[in-house]
Amino acid sequence: MGETEIQWKQTDMVEVVLGEPDDFLKVRETLTRIGVASRKERKIYQSCHILHKQGRYYIVHFKELFALDGKKANISLNDIQRRNRIVQLLVDWGLVSISTESHEKITDLAPLNQIKVLSFKEKGEWTLESKYNIGRKKQEGE
């Protein structure tokens, strides 16, 4: 597809600040409804997750999580642009603010039409798929 692969490092992660601790669950739920859609199958593939690490919070693309796990991730510039757009949406909706150090990391945004945002109402009509489960081992039969 000719996407530009980037040399990702952990310092590229975007740190965010929550207004209050409860917002973690709100952000986590909201991110399950944002991603790349397969309209035909009514499936949405979650793009980003919220990561809580050593008292800090990060919004990360799922490929960044693979990279953190030491797996080959093939992170493209477009993945980062999509992550940035999603971070900006969370900021616009008042769910997070961006830490001072991370401001310059989200200047390059993907256009809104590259991601699908489901409303809470629509959630039941779509299959929400996650390519990464944070801190959760798959159970038998899942």
- Strand arrangement of the beta sheet that strand 48-53 belongs to: 48-53, 56-61, 14-18, 96-98
Across the strands, what pairs with 46?
Answer: 35
* pLDDT tens digits along 43-66: 999 999 999 999 899 999 999 999
* pLDDT tens digits along 82-129: 999 999 999 999 999 999 889 888 889 999 999 999 999 999 999 999
SS3 25: helix
- Answer whether residue 140 shows pLDDT above 50: no
Residues whose CB falls within 8 Å of the CB of residue 119, separated by 6 or more in sequence, listed in order = 33
Which pair of structure tokens corresponds to residue 26?
């709100």
SS3 141: coil
